[in-house]
Amino acid sequence: MTSSFQDNIDVKNTMLLRAEKHWTAGHMKPTPLAWSDGDGSVVGCAIESVDLLIWTDSLGLPKWLALVIDEIASGLTSRDVAPQEACKAGLELLKAIPVGVDLGQAGSKFIISLLADVDERLVQLEQDKVLGQIYRALVELHHGVIGGDQPDATQWRAMRKSAVELTNNLPEGSEVAALAGVVEAAMWDARTSPSVGVDTLRQFSRARSIRAVVEFGWTEADEAHTKMRLDDMFKRFLKDNPENKRTVFDHYADEFPEEEARLRRRIAIERDARCIGAELGRIALSNVLGAASKKQ
């Protein structure tokens, strides 16, 4: 059993002071795990390194948690969220980590929180029973982890095989395929797979982006038409004219302003949906950490 912050509030406070110093100085960036020349991600600044053995051995914290915190801060950055504010959200998550708690089961709790949103959407889409069955079996496996079970690696592997086979038969780029991708990404034990939390969150945000774009009215035909337009702009204006400082979007706006404006709206909607995915991840993680704190 690992105890967060080695069951020592001073260890946590030292880490927070270090992170807050970098945030105040503007050295903290909303990126995946990073540390270089005094600048870094939220967790990178907290440990002043990208070596997560420092996170696990010195702080007594699971690797999945570090990767998820940085992913949330990175995902929150959009046209409406300044980088420093996104990093501040990551700092608040660091502060929310309780002292003296075994967070070994918290990864499964976080994943189940994200999967609940997926389940709700599958019901709305009246999606196929096979995916629903795989989803329910996955949730049961994670609940087993929370209850103290030690699922065998073969159980996870068999379930992943079923999910991959299903995903491969779904329409590429569809919302249903993206939701299946969330389920597929979640088919690991966070205690042994550091990346399962961040992979699940990324797929979760991607599924929300695809949903938002579809609801906006963007179709495969729109995608193909826009690609054709942009390829044409490149060939006509940029391919043989390296001195041209304008982009394909600039030329697109000149010739087809309404189409270009609609494309920009589509890009903004996709970006904002990813931000919403990160925010939902932040809420889910805050709730998991808060519940762990109350059990102290």
Residue 280 confidence (pLDDT) above 90: yes
Q: Return d(Cα 196, Cα 72) in angstroms, integer.
A: 14
CB-CB contact of 189 with 145 (8 Å): yes
Instruction: Give Cα 241 to chain centroid, integer Å.
Output: 39
- With bands split at pLDDT 50, 70 and 90, how would you rate the model's confidence at 118? confident
Summarised one tens digit per residue, pLDDT across range 209-266 is 999 999 999 999 999 999 999 999 999 999 999 888 999 999 999 999 999 999 999 9
DSSP string, 24-46: HTT-B-SSSS-EETTEE-HHHHH
- With bands split at pLDDT 50, 70 and 90, how would you rate the model's confidence at 127? low
Among candidate residues 58, 155, 31, 45, the one with its CA nearest the CA of residue 94: 45
CA angle 149, 200, 184 (to 5 degrees): 75
Give the pLDDT confidence score for residue 254 in this predicted structure: 97
Summarised one tens digit per residue, pLDDT across range 36-72 is 999 999 999 999 999 999 999 999 999 999 999 999 9
Give the pLDDT confidence score for residue 122 in this predicted structure: 82
Average pLDDT (182-200) is 95
Write down the mean pLDDT value for the chain.
Answer: 93
Burial of 71 per CB tally in 10 Å (0-12, 13-18, 19+): buried
CB-CB contact of 68 with 263 (8 Å): no
Residue 79 confidence (pLDDT) above 70: no
Residue 295 confidence (pLDDT) above 80: no
Residue 267 confidence (pLDDT) above 80: yes
Neighbours of 18 (CB within 10 A): 14
Summarised one tens digit per residue, pLDDT across range 8-18 is 999 999 999 99
Summarised one tens digit per residue, pLDDT across range 84-110 is 999 999 999 999 999 999 998 999 999
- With bands split at pLDDT 50, 70 and 90, how would you rate the model's confidence at 1? low
First to last CA, the chain: 15
Give the pLDDT confidence score for residue 264 in this predicted structure: 96
Helices (runs of H) and strands (runs of E) counted in the chain:
13, 2
Give the pLDDT confidence score for residue 120 in this predicted structure: 83
Helix, strand, coil shares, percent, the chain, to 5: 70, 0, 25
Longest distance between any two alpha carbons in the chain, whole Å:
66
Q: Return d(Cα 145, Cα 196) in angstroms, integer.
A: 14
Phi and psi for 288 in degrees, rounded to 5?
Answer: -65, -45
